[in-house]
Amino acid sequence: QGVFEGSVVIRKGVLIEVAEQRNFPPQHVEGVWKRLLKNSEPSKQPRIHYLLDVFVFEREQMQLEEMFETKEEQVVHAILARIYSEIE
């Protein structure tokens, strides 16, 4: 486990909104949602824990995208950037 500063619940509407802003392929959004759910098991809602400007997604340490206002947006932008690089 570990020590965390806080956590943020990821809402599907925010994921869709950020995906549209980033021109993320719409056909991949549902797959990202499923990965968020799996990453958050046993919770039924995607939840990401963070410490300062770092969080863990799928066992990988990632930086928050701090140019965005909310922690939720910072996490979602970072995750979508990583996944986009995987599907290119």
pLDDT in tens, the chain (88 residues): 567 789 999 999 999 999 999 999 989 999 999 999 999 988 889 999 999 999 999 999 999 999 999 999 999 999 999 999 888 7
Bridge partners (DSSP) of residue 47 are: 9
Rounded to two decimals, the pTM is: 0.90
Q: How far apart are CA 81 and CA 41, in angstroms?
A: 22
C-alpha torsion sign, points 15, 3, 57, 46: negative
Q: Two tokens at 43?
A: 């919770």
From the CB of residue 27, how many other CB atoms can be counted at a distance below 10 Å? 8
SS3 content of the chain, % helix, strand, coil (to 5): 45, 20, 35
